[in-house]
A and B are shown apart, each in its own frame.
Chain A
Amino acid sequence: MSVEVRLPTVLRSHAGGNSIVIALGSTVGEVLEDLSRNYPDMKGRLLGEDGSLHRFVNVYVNDDDVRYLNQLDTRVADGDTISILPAVAGGES
């Protein structure tokens, strides 16, 4: 599967300045692995020592936060968009 990965400003310098990169994988975890092969700096920023997502990193498949799907095992399909975003204070609704 080939998916588009959108990177936040704070991570772009670790991906050659790109805001969007293409990566391969059939799960979110595989996609992040593939991303880290091309940009070795990335892995330590996205994952903690235990291999799970860094607490201030939110990963979305299309619009859904993968923490509430199957975390890194969340399946991705060809053409999906993965967005990586830092956790920030939202509004207040």
Chain B
Amino acid sequence: MAYCSNIFDLVGNTPLVEVSELSPNSRVRILMKLEGQNPSGSVKDRVALSMVEQAEKDGTLQPGQTLLEPSSGNTGIGLALVAKVKGYKLKVVMPENVSPERRQLLEVWGAEIIGSPAGEGSNGAVRMAEHIASEHPEWAFLYQYANPANPRAHYDGTGPEIWRDCPEVTHFVAGLGTSGTLMGVGRFLKERNPAIQVWAVEPPAGEMVDGLRSLDDGYIPPIFLENDGPSMLDRKTVIGTRESVEWTKRISSLGIFAGISTGTAMAGAARCAEAIDSGVIVIVSADGGWKYLSAGVWTDDIDVVVERASRMTYF
């Protein structure tokens, strides 16, 4: 491919890089898939493009229509790029406490930001977006948490790429948010080799859960249930903010400049490597470090960074 005629041709086909130097077990190799290489800088370009193309195909999205989406940043940014190029308008419901770079990137492609309460994290953004969508049926609500085109982007793209580049994979580790990556890649890999284990990592719930009035306000992404998430995952582990930041910095020593959730995934891979005798772990690096420069991840005192990051939605 000497050149490509369309920015969308650059979505996916991301590189897989060995980071075994950081493995705590010499019999366990670790490879990292660099999703920050996508055009808007995160794994969410796959999801944004997949959801928009599906909606165009099935007619739920008409030329020039407005899109509405809850996002802690990356999906909004990916959708903003896709929407700008394809001529749609976009409104993103986003927690107030995301990094300023996330807001600025949305502005690059002209998306409108609707702020949701910082303390409620992604949960609050989802709730608010559902409410706004019910009041504006004329807007297209693609809704990544419930849209089958989200896991399908990973079943059709991310999963096959991992299998092509590293068929010896024994464990797949990725962050749990919408669950799209874990469900799509997990299904693809387990169909090829049922022995492959799928491990989810997640950030601490933090103050987000304090906003709930009752347990019945809880939320499980519909795509997690539709894909039988409970049987797809083999393990689910919470990784503390300090551990995530420490691993993010360690990863940069290999020349890989990745976001904080990559540190979370890497911490999960390290725990996995310690728990097994031997194997090959593939992890997803959801985005690059650019959007976290203002958090001082690589430059400021670790205690200060952890305090900042724990008040921020970085997943």
Residues of A at the B interface (CB closer than 8 Å) are 8-11, 45, 54-57, 60, 63-65, 67-69, 85-93
Nearest A residue (CB) for B264 = A93
B64 at the interface (CB under 8 A from A): no
B281 at the interface (CB under 8 A from A): no
* A88 to B221 Cα, complex, angstroms: 9
CB distance from B222 to the nearest CB of A (A): 11
- A54, A60, A68, A87: the one contacting B219 at CB < 8 Å is A87
B30 at the interface (CB under 8 A from A): no
- A55, A56, A57, A88: the one contacting B205 at CB < 8 Å is A88
* A43 to B177 Cα, complex, angstroms: 28
Q: Is the CB of B215 within 8 A of A9?
A: no
B155 at the interface (CB under 8 A from A): no
* A67 to B230 Cα, complex, angstroms: 8
Known: A10-B214, A56-B218. A90 touches B236 (CB 8 A): no
* A63 to B268 Cα, complex, angstroms: 11
Count of A-B contacts judged by CB separation below 8 Å:
118
Known: A10-B214, A45-B215, A57-B215. A90 touches B235 (CB 8 A): no
- Chain B interface bracket (under 10, 10 to 19, 20 to 34, 35 or more): 35 or more
Q: Is the CB of B315 within 8 A of A65?
A: no
Minimum-distance CB pairs A-B, first 6: A91-B315, A56-B218, A93-B175, A92-B177, A65-B236, A93-B286
B217 at the interface (CB under 8 A from A): yes
Q: Mark B194-210, 1 if CB is under 8 A from A, else 0.
A: 00000000110100111
**Residues of B247-301 contacting chain A, CB below 8 A:** 261, 264-265, 284, 286
Chain A positions within 8 Å of B181 at CB level: 93
B40 at the interface (CB under 8 A from A): no
Chain A positions within 8 Å of B217 at CB level: 10, 56, 86
**Residues of B204-238 contacting chain A, CB below 8 A:** 205, 208-210, 212-221, 230, 233-238
Q: Is the CB of A91 within 8 A of B121?
A: yes
Known: A56-B216, A91-B177, A93-B261. A86 touches B209 (CB 8 A): yes
- B71, B208, B219: the one contacting A92 at CB < 8 Å is B71
Known: A8-B212, A63-B239, A67-B236. A91 touches B314 (CB 8 A): yes
13 CB-based A-B contacts, threshold 8 Å: A8-B205, A9-B212, A10-B214, A45-B215, A55-B220, A69-B235, A85-B209, A87-B220, A91-B72, A92-B177, A92-B178, A93-B175, A93-B265
Q: Is the CB of B236 within 8 A of A10?
A: no
